Structure 1
Amino acid sequence: MMHKAFSYFAHGACEDTGLDIYALCVYIDARCELSAHDLFDELTAALQAASVVPDCVLVIADESATQKLLGYWQEEESRRETFQSRCEKKGVPFVKCYQFVVWCSRSGLSVIHTEGAGPEPYFKLPLLKLIRHGLEALVRKNPVAQIAPAGHVFKHPSKTVSKLFIQTRELATSEPELSFLGRCLAGHLDAFRLPDLAHVYIDSMGIYAMVHEALVFTGSTARIHSFHSYDELSEQTPPTLPYAVVISASTTGGMARTLYEKQGFDETRILTIIDSSREHRHSATLIALDEIDDSYKKRLRDGTETQIELYGEHFASKAKPPRAVTLGLSHKPSRLEDFLKEFGTNGVLDLNASASPSGRPANRLVCVDTSSVGSSAKLKEWLKEEIHWRVATAINHIIYADDAGSKELAEHAATLLQEARNSSTTPKVLCYDDLDDLSLKGATGVLIIQALAGDGGLLREISRDLREYLKQCTPRHFLAGVGLPQSADTWARLRQFLVRNASNREYGFSAWFALPIGADSTATAWQAYAELFAESQLADLLNESLPRDVAMKSIVLATETYQSVPNGFFPTPGGDKLVLTDGFVFFGKAFEKVSEVSDATAFATVAAVLQAARDLNSSGNQLRPNGYESVVLDPENFLRFNDNLLQACILRAAHPAELDYSSSPQHSRLMKEFLLKLFARHARPYGGAALEFAAALASGRLRLLASDLEEVRDKAIAQLKEVESPLLGLICLIK
C-alpha cells in the first residue's frame, strides 16, 4: 500500500497545565485522492508503529483536506469507534483527545476540531514545536547526516574540512514527507509568503522539489534558479525584484555569510535547510543538527586524516574497501562472565525455545529462564542494597511482570521494603495484568519489577499505563534484574524513556546488569536456511560434472539433515554434534568443564561479543559500518576460533553484511582458501563445521567474489561427487 501520510511521535508540554504530552502526529498529503478508508488506514498504521499509546492524536492537513477528513471522521461512526477502541486498555481511553489541525500558508497552524474534550481543546499543544519534532523525525529516519569514517574527513566544495557531510536531498523520501517539508520551508522564511515573490535561488538541484513544493503551497509563481553551490556563487547579485535564497546544507554557515557580507544579499531572505548549528549564522536555519543530537558538536579532527573530496553531493574519491575486524579481548563485554557464571549452565534455554509458560514461540533466539533469574542469590543480594540505597521509601505498591521470576523478586522486594522501613505493613504486590485504577488506589509510590528484560517493551508499556492511573508527581522506580537488549543504545534509550517526566525530578531506574546480544531480525540464519530449503529449484542448481541422481539424493539428504535440527546447528559431515574444546578466551573462568556449556550458551556468548564489538567506542576496532566504509569480520577469526561450534556460532550470530567479502578481493581470496581447505578436510575435526559454512554460502549470508565462489563450488563438487552426502547437497544449492 502506498502511504498517503507521514506520521511521527512527538511530545511537548500542554500550554495550560504544563503536563508533558505525547502526541501521535499524522500529516496527510492533500494532493492525494482521500477517502474514509485512507484516513482510518493511515491512523491505524501510525498507531501500530508507535512505541507507546499517545495521549493525543493530531490529524494535520491543508484546509480543504482537513474539512474532508473531519467529515469522514464524524460520518464513519463504526470505523471511528473501531479505531478509538485500539486506543483503549481495559476500557480506559488512553488517548484523551483527537484533534484536527489546519495548516494554512497564511495563518499557519490552528486546531479546528477536538473530539472527546468538549468545546475547548483538552490539551493546548505547542503546534510549532510538534512540527519541529517532525523535522527531527525525518533526520533520524532518512540518511541525511553522514560522519566520515575513522581516520578520514570530508573536503567540501567550499574547501571546508569537516567530519560531517549533509545530504539534504535525502531528507524527504516519499511524497507525504516532501509535502510536509515544503510546508515547513514556507512557514520558516517570510520571503516565501510575499505575494510578489519573483525569484528563488537554490544552491543545488537536489532541493528543487522541496522548494517547488513550498511555492505551490503558498501559491507563488516565482521562478527557481540554481547557482550550483560554490561554482557560481561569486557571480550572484541581489535582483531588483523580491527574492529568496535557499541553501541546502551547511556545516559552518560559510555560504550564507558570503552571500550576506560579500554579495550583498539580505540575510532575512536566506534560509539554510540543514545546518550543524543556529549560532552565529547569517540566515534562518530550518534544522540545526546539534539540537537533535549533541554528538554532531563533538566530531573533532586532528589534521592527520585522509581527505574524502566531495563534488556537489557526490564523492570524487574511489570507494573504500571494507575494514576487517578481528575479535579480541577488547570486545569482551564487561558483564559477560557474570552472566555466564550465574546463568550459563542452567539458565539459558535452548535456541529458539520459548521462555513463556504458555509455550508461545520465542521472539528471541536467546532466551533465559526467568525463574533462574528470580531465584539468583547474587541478584537478591544486589536487590537488597538497591532498595536500601536508591528506592524511595514512599513506595507502597509493587508491580511485577507476569512471570515466575519477576513475581519472586517482587515478593522479596516487598519484604525488604518492609524491613527497611521497620513497618508492620507490607507493600501491596500485584501482577501487571491486574493493573487498573482500583488496584492502585492509595498508591504513594510504585516499584515496577521485571526479572528479565529485552529492549524493555513491557517496561515501556507499564510506564505508559501508569500515566493513566497515577499523578506524574507520584514516585516510581523501574527495576530490571537482567537486561538482554539489542544494543547499548537501545538500553540507554529505554532508561531515558522511563525516567523522563514533566516534574523536575527523574523517576528511578535500576538494573543488576545489561548484556546486549544483538538484534533478532527477519534475516536470522535460521529463517534464511528455512527459506533456502523451501524455495530451492533443483533443476537450476545442478552441476554438469555431477550425475543428476547423486545431486538429487544429496540435496534430499541435506534437507533431511536440516529438518532434524531446525532450531539448532548442523552436525558434522559425519553426523556428530558440534563440540567445544577448552580455551575459549571469552568464557574466562566461568566454567570448570567445557562440557557444561550448551549450544545456546555458546551462541549467546558469541552474540554478546559481536554486539560488544559493534558498540565499541574505538572506531578503529569497531564492528559497525557507516555511510562510506563497510565493515567485515576478518577471515582470521575462523582460524583463531577454530572449534567447529564457535565457527557455527559466528556464522549465525553475525550480520550478513559482516560476512560479505564480495567487495574485497583480498578478503574474498583469504576466505576462499580457508573454505577450500575446510571442505577438503571435512572428515576431520578441522572441517567439522563444513555443513554450516556450506549453508551460509548457499543462503547468501556468506558472500565471496563471483569467481572465488565458483571456484569453491566446482572444486568441492569435484572432491565430493563420488558419494551422495548432505555436504554435497548443500554445495549443490550454492548459486
Structure 2
Amino acid sequence: MFVFDCYSEEKNCLVLFLGQYDPRSRASLSSEIQEAYKQSLTPEVIIFLYPKYISSEISELLLDNSFIIDITRQKHSQVICVHFDKHGVLKIQKNLSNEGNSNALPDMKYLSRDITKYGYRHLLDLRKNEVLVRSPAGTIFVKPSGKEKEEFIYASALARNSCEHQFLAMSLLSFFPADREIEYIYIDTASISAIAESLTYYLSRFQNTNCKQVKYESFSSYDGMDTQCPDNTDSAWVIISASASMSMGKKIVKSWRLNPKQVITILSYQSTLADTEDNIGNALVFSVDDYSSRDDKSKSPVKVQVQGESFAAEISTPIPILFGLAHKPKLIDSAIYKYTKKGTFSLNRKSVRVHVDYSELRKNYLSKGKVSGKLFEWLNQVVKWSIPKNLKCIVIGNDESDIIFLKDVKHVLKNNGFELKNITEIHADSHSEMCEIGEGGVLILSSAISSGHNFVDVNRALRLAGHKGMRIFVTAFTTSHTVKEFNLFKQSLTQGFNGFRYAFFTYKKISLGDKSISSWESEKMWITGLINGAKDEEPGLHYWLSRKSMLEKVGTGLDGKVGLKFSNSTGKLQFAPDFVFWPPSYEVDKVCHEAVYMTVCAILQNARDNYVSGQKLGSNIYQHSVIAPENFVRFNDSLLQSCIWRAAYPSELDYRRSEVLSNDFQRILSKIMVSCNSERGEVCLDLLIAIALRWIKLSKKALNKLLIDAEEHLVEPHAKLLVEQIKFEFQL
C-alpha cells in the first residue's frame, strides 16, 4: 500500500491506497495497515482507496472479521471504503464506522483533488533532492528545451515501487480525454514508462479486457517533437513528465494540432489551472514550486547538457584558491603596469567591459608629436620585415583611435619608402570596394581588439571578394579572453589561401577572462529594479539614482568608480601602496583604478589557465574550485575587494555547497559592515550588491545570518533600501 496523510475540507484524513489486490496477499495487507496506524496520529477519517474493478474482491475482504478488526482499530476514526473509476472519480463503497456520520466525511467533490495533492506532497517530502536535482556547483543545466536552469525536475524519481507508480497513474485518470478513443499514449521520456505501464493497465482493466488496447511510446522530448507526430492525432494522449514553464505542452498542442485536453504535464514550477482558467496545453497535475530552491537569476559560464536521465554530480566539496605572487602573469608589468596613469583603460565604456584607448596609450611614446620609442620600433619592425612592397590597400575602422593608429602606421610606412598615394584606404564595412583590390597586399588595422571579430569579419569579406594576396593584421593592444582562445584565433586568422600564411601582430596582449558578462551591466539592471520599486520620496533613494546615472555613462566609462562606496555612490574606493602584483614605485594618487581591475582580471585568468601549486581555478561537473573567502582578508583594500568579485565568474564565488566557506565569507563581510563608515568598511555595499546579483552565492543559513548583521549595522537609509530589497528577493 501507499500510505499518506491528507487534509481535505478541514478534516484530517489518512489515505490507504491499494493499487491492486490479490487474495494471496491478505496477510501482508493487515501488517501494512497496522504499520500505517503506528506512523500516523489519530485521523478523523481513514480512506481505504482502490480501483473500482476490484470492488467485488474488496467486498469479500470486508466479510473477514479479522480484517474489519484490523482496519477499524483506530476507535475514534471513521473508516470509509472508496473506489475510483476510469475517470478518477471517487465514490464511497462502504462506511465501516458503526457511528457513521456523513456530515463528518470529506466532500467527494474535493477529495480527489486533495488526495492527489497530498499524495504528491508526501512523495516530494520523501525524495525532494532526487526529483529536484541541483546542477553541480559552479555549473548550470542546459535543458532539452535549450533553456538554462540550475535545477532540473526528474518526475521519474517520484515513485520507487509499483503501488506508488499506480498512485501516479490514478492521478492522471482525471485528465483522461473521455471524449476521445485513445489508442496511444505519448510520453516525453522513457524514464516514466513505469507510470505509463500502470496507466495502460488501469485503462484495460476498467474496459474489462485482458489485452492492453492502449499502447504507449516515448517521443524523446524536444528532439522528437517534430519527427514523432502521430498519424491519428485524435487517438493520442500526451503525458509530459515535467516542464519548468509548461512550454512543451503548449508547443505540442500547436505543432501536433491537438485539443488541449489531450495534453497533461505531471510536474512543473507553474501553478495548476484554476477552474476558471482556459487550458491551452498547460494542464498540470502538481506544482513543485514550493519545494524548489532554484535561483533563476543565478549565473554560470559552465553548462551541463541534460541528456534524458543522465546528469553528473560533484563528487567533492569546492577547492578554495588563495592568490599569491605565483599567480601573477609576466605580461602584467609590460601590458598593464606601464599604463597605470589615467586615460589608457576604461571600464563599462562603449558597451564593452574593458576598453583600451590607443590615443592615450601612444602618449607614452610621443616625441615632437610623432610616435617614438619602443612603439615606433615595433611598428618599424612590422613594416620593414612583414609588409610587402606591393601593398595596395589599408583596411581601417572609423573609431577615433583607429584613425590615430592609421596616422602612426602611415608615418612609419613613409619612413620605409612606401608611396602613400598609391595605397588605398578602405573602411572595414566597405565590402564592395574590396573586390577591386586584386592580388595586392592588404594591411588590416585596429587600434585594439578583444575577441578579434572585426579582423575575422574583414578576413571573410576579403575571401568572398576573391582576394588572393598577402594580408597583414596589426593591432596595438589585444585583451583576449584566454591564452588558448587567442592562439586559436591567431591560427584561424593567419591560415591563408591554399596553405598560404597571413601575418598577425600585436604590440601588447593580456588575457582578462570572458568579458561577455559585465558586473556593471547587471548592477545597473538590478538598481533600476530597486528604484522602480521604491517610493519617489524614499529616504536614501538619491544614492541609488546617482549610481545608476554613473553606470549609464557608457560614452566615458566609470572614470575610476569601479565599485560602490558606502558614503558616496560617486566616490572612488580606497587603494593603498604596496600592491603585491605591481613593482613598488607607483604613486597611489596617480593610479587609474581601471588598471587595478585589469590586473586582478589577469591574475584570475592566469589561475584558470595554469596550475599553480597543483591547483587551478575552474569548474567542471566533478570538481569545483572557488576563490577562497580568505582573499577578501589578504587583499583588504576596498578597491581590490571590489575588483576580485567583479573580475570573477559567478561560479567562482559560489560557496553554497560548503557551509564552511559560506560561513567564512559571511563572517568576513559582517566584520566589514561593522566598519562601514571607515575606509576598511566602505566596500560593504559593493559586496552586498554582489550578493544581490547572485555573483557571490552563500548557503541559505549563512545568507540569513549575513542579512541579520546587515540590518543591525547598516542603518543609513540608502543601505537599508539595499538590505530590504535583498531580503525581499531571497524571501528571507
Distance 2:421 2:439 in 1: 13
Counterparts of 1:408 and 1:427 in 2: how far apart (Å)? 20
Residue 634 in structure 1 maps to residue 619 in structure 2: no
Query: Which of 464, 473, 477 matches 1:482?
Result: 477
Secondary structure of the residue aligned to 2:356 is coil
Deviation at 1:512, TM superposition (A): 1.5
For the residue of structure 2 that corresponds to 1:366, the secondary structure is strand
Larger Rg: 2
Change in CA separation of 1:464 and 1:649 when aligned onto 2, cut-off 3 Å: same
2:531–2:544 CA contact under 8 A, matched in 1:
no
Secondary structure of the corresponding residue to residue 734 of structure 1:
helix
- Tell me if the contact between 2:326 and 2:612 (Cα under 8 Å) persists in the aligned partners: no
Equivalent of 2:657, from 641, 645, 663?
663
Relative distance call for 1:314 and 1:732 in structure 2 (3 A) is: closer
CA distance in 1, matches of 2:615, 2:693: 28
Deviations 1:251-276 (A, max 9, x none): xxxxxxxxxxxxxxxxxxxxxxxxxx
Alignment partner, residue 670 of structure 2: 676
Tell me how far apart the structure 2 counterparts of residues 716 and 436 of structure 1 sit (CA, whole Å): 57
- 1:557-636 matches, cutoff 5 A: 558-560=543-545, 562-563=547-548, 565-566=550-551, 567=558, 568=561, 569-573=563-567, 577-588=572-583, 592-616=586-610, 620-636=614-630
Q: Is the 2:410–2:420 contact (alpha carbons within 8 Å) kept by the matching residues of 1?
A: no
Shift, 1:215, TM fit: 11
Matched residue, 2:154: none
Greater relative CO (CA pairs within 8 A, separation 6+) = 2
1:570-620 CA distance string (max 9 Å, x none): 22337753121101122325x630111123222222223222322225594
Alignment RMSD, CA only?
4.0
Shift of 1:336: 1.8
3-state SS in 2 of match to 1:480? strand
Question: Following TM superposition, by how much is the alpha carbon of 1:467 offset from its aligned partner in structure 2, in angstroms?
Answer: 1.4
Give the secondary-structure state (helix, strand or coil) at the position aligned to 2:395: strand
Match of 1:379 in 2: 375
Structure 1 length as normaliser, TM-score?
Answer: 0.51
Aligned counterpart, 2:719: 727
Distance 1:418 1:533, change over 3 A: closer
> Cα gap change, 1:510/1:725 in structure 2, threshold over 3 Å: closer, same or farther?
same
Give the TM-score of the pair, scaled to structure 2: 0.51
Displacement after TM superposition at 1:482 (Å): 0.7
- The residue correspondences of 1:230-379 to structure 2 (distance < 5 A) are 319-353=315-349, 362-373=350-361, 376=365, 377=372, 378-379=374-375
The 2-side partners of 1:657 and 1:482 are apart by: 29
- Unmatched segments (≥5 aa) in structure 1: 1-147, 150-166, 175-203, 220-311, 354-361, 541-548
Shift of 1:701: 2.1
**Aligned-partner Cα distance in 2 for 1:403–1:553:** 42
The answer on 1:509 being equivalent to 2:470 is no
1:646 alignment counterpart: 640
CA shift for structure 1 position 485: 2.4
1:645 to partner: Cα distance:
1.1
Alpha-carbon distance in 2 for matches of 1:403, 1:537: 36
Amino acid at match of 2:472: H
- Cα-to-partner distance string for 1:624-661 (whole Å, 9 max, x where unaligned): 21122222111111111111111112222222222221
Contact 2:358–2:447, Cα closer than 8 Å, also in 1: yes
AA partner of residue 507 (structure 1):
Y
1:399–1:446 CA contact under 8 A, matched in 2? yes
Q: Distance in 1 between matches of 2:544 and 2:421?
A: 58
Give deviations 1:508-542, integer Å, cap 9, x for gaps. 111122212233335624423532441579799xx
In 2, distance between residues paired with 1:347 and 1:538? 37
Partner of 1:713: 707
CA distance in structure 1 between the partners assigned to 2:534 and 2:550 by the alignment: 26
Alignment of 1:149-168 (within 5 A): none
Q: 1:621 to 1:729 in 2, by over 3 A?
A: same
Q: 1:406 aligns with which of 402, 405, 408?
A: 402
Equivalent residues of 1:417, 1:427 under 8 A apart? no
Q: 1:531 aligns with which of 497, 522, 526?
A: 526
Q: Distance in 2 between matches of 1:397 and 1:537?
A: 52
Q: Deviations over 1:306-349 (max 9, x none)?
A: xxxxxx9566x873211211222233233222223443214335
> Is there any run of 5+ residues in structure 2 with no aligned partner, and where?
1-135, 148-189, 193-217, 232-308, 366-371, 552-557, 728-732
3-state DSSP of counterpart to 1:733: helix
- Label 1:445 to 1:328 Cα distance change in 2 as closer, same or farther (>3 A): same
Distance (Å, rounded) in 1 between the aligned partners of 2:713 and 2:429: 64
| Cα 1:657/1:529, change in 2 over 3 Å | farther
Q: Determine the structure 1 residue equivalent to 2:440.
A: 444
SS in 1 for 2:507: strand
Q: Distance in 1 between matches of 2:469 and 2:706?
A: 65
The 3-state SS of whatever aligns with 1:621 is coil
Tell me the distance in 2 between the aligned counterparts of 1:493 and 1:395: 27
Q: State yes or no: 1:395 paired with 2:395.
A: no
Q: Per-residue deviation at 1:453?
A: 0.9
- Tell me, in whole angstroms, the C-alpha distance in 2 between the residues paired with 1:385 and 1:452: 19
- CA shift, 1:671, in A, is 0.7
Give the Cα separation in 2 of the matches to 1:381 and 1:442: 31
Who is 1:461 aligned against? 457
SS class of match (1:577): coil
Identify the residue that residue 494 of structure 2 maps to in structure 1. Answer: 499
| Range that drifts further, 619-628 or 530-539 | 530-539
Alpha-carbon distance change, 622 to 347 in structure 1, aligned in 2, over 3 angstroms: farther
Question: Amino acid of the residue matched to residue 465 of structure 2?
Answer: Y
Query: Aligned partners of 1:349, 1:685: CA distance in 2, in Å?
Result: 25
Provide the C-alpha distance between the structure 2 equivalents of 1:504 and 1:557, rounded to a whole number of angstroms: 61
Q: Which amino acid aligns with 1:444?
A: G
Alignment of 1:96-107 (within 5 A): none
The residue type equivalent to 1:510 in the other structure is F
Contact 1:333 1:608 in 2 (8 A): yes
Deviation at 1:365, TM superposition (A): 2.2
Matched residue SS, 1:447? strand
